[in-house]
Structures are given as C-alpha cells and as structure tokens.
Amino acid sequence: MSKKFAAEFVGTLWLVLGGCGSAVLAAGFPELGIGFAGVSLAFGLTVVTMAYAIGHISGCHLNPAVSVGLWIGGRFEAKELIPYIIAQVLGGIAGASILYLVASGKPGFEIAGFASNGYGEHSPGGYSMMAALITEVVMTFIFLVIILGATHSKAPKGFAGLAIGLGLVLIHLISIPVTNTSVNPARSTSQAIFAGDWALSQLWLFWVAPIAGAILAGIFYRFISPENE
C-alpha cells in the first residue's frame, strides 16, 4: 500500500471513529449527551484535522464520492480511483471495528442502529426513501462544489480544510434527521456491516445517491470554473 492509500485508510478510520463514535458513545449519554449538533461538529472536526494532517499526502478524500467527484471534475487521476475507494472502505470498516470493540465494553450494550444510515422506519425523522435519495444527492452535490471551489488554484490558500469541514458540519445539521447523514459510501458501509440486515438492505441508496451527487457536482464545477487546472 502506498503512502497515499495508507493516508486515506487512516483518515477514513478517523472520520468513522470520530464522527460515528460521537453518535454511538456520546450523543445519547444522559449527562453529557452532545445531540445532533455535537455529532455534526464531530464529523466536521474529523475532516478539518485530517485535511491538515494528510491533505498534502493524499488530498484527504476520505470518501468514495469525493474521489469520484474530483475525478469527474478533472482533479484526480482515474488510475488511482479504485485503490482510493478500497482504502477508504477498509479504513471505515477498521474505524467501525474499533468503535464496536469500545462500545461493546459497556454492560448492557445493544448495537441497535450503530449510527447507520437509513430511510423509512430507519430514518431518525421517519423520512421516505425518496426524501432520503433527494437529500443525499443534493447534500453530496453541495459538498463537492465546496471541495472543488475551496481547493481551486484561485481560492484563498490555507483555508480549504476549514471550508470543507464547516461545510460538512452544516450538511449534517440539515440531514441527520432525514438519513442520519451519509454523503459518504465508506462511512455508510462500515456501520451497516455491524448494524446488520436492515442497514445492509438499504445500503444501495448510500452508494448510489452520493456518487450521483458527486458526478453532477464535477460536471457543474467544470462548467462554472474560471479555468481548468
């Protein structure tokens, strides 16, 4: 595994452990519950911290949809796409495995949803499959527009990590009630493996919708970009 793929593995591990870990371990704790806002902030912080830790090594994608969107947007080589996605999915599973080992150490632990993404009866707010599909496509579209814009050669230097991380916070604030927020197939896959049947049966949406949104964003940003890089 090259340095880039190792960086993507560890970065995605941290995103899942930090973001999903905040939901599983802290969000519902009676005295210290951090709620939706806290979980949203946690996901954003994982991206901000890794953007400055590994951004100069791998670009800090941490997300198959991001890799696809950057490829469509002309910022990423096709030959690295599949290895990046494999590293991200494996990193997410490793992060979820660590989270499971920690969470299951508490007496009376029940896996329940394990911060999985879902629609219908598995949506936090009971939203339909169509609402979930629209949400995930649009949120991922906006996320990729933020990433493509913040990392453009004409954008202010040194602030991309903050813009992208804060963008992810806002996306979670909007969409946690609808799908528990994916915009990231690796994050969804890692949790669904542990949550089991229902999460795995709905996982298709959290691959299709984010990648569709990312492709649309890549096409759109090529159209509005002031110049090709």
- Structural domain including 69 reads 3-224
Q: Which alpha helices (H) appear in the chain, and where do they start and end?
A: 3-15, 21, 35-58, 64-72, 81-103, 129-150, 160-179, 185-195, 197-202, 205-224
Specify the number of domains making up the chain: 1
**Residue 229 lies inside a defined structural domain of this protein:** no
Give residue-wise pLDDT tens across range 104-139. Answer: 999 988 898 899 999 999 999 999 999 999 999 999
Give residue-wise pLDDT tens across range 192-229. Answer: 999 989 999 999 999 999 999 999 999 999 999 877 55
**Residue 34 lies inside a defined structural domain of this protein:** yes
**Residue 151 lies inside a defined structural domain of this protein:** yes
**Residue 93 lies inside a defined structural domain of this protein:** yes
**Residue 74 lies inside a defined structural domain of this protein:** yes
The first and second tokens of residue 173, run together, are: 């604030």
CATH at residue 210: 1.20.1080.10
**Residue 166 lies inside a defined structural domain of this protein:** yes
The first and second tokens of residue 183, run together, are: 């915009």
**Residue 181 lies inside a defined structural domain of this protein:** yes
**Residue 108 lies inside a defined structural domain of this protein:** yes
Q: Is 197 exposed, middle or buried (0-12, 13-18, 19+ CB in 10 A)?
A: exposed
Give residue-wise pLDDT tens across range 23-78. Answer: 999 876 666 668 899 999 999 999 999 999 999 999 999 999 999 999 999 999 99
Using an 8 Å Cβ cutoff, are 68 and 207 in contact? Answer: no
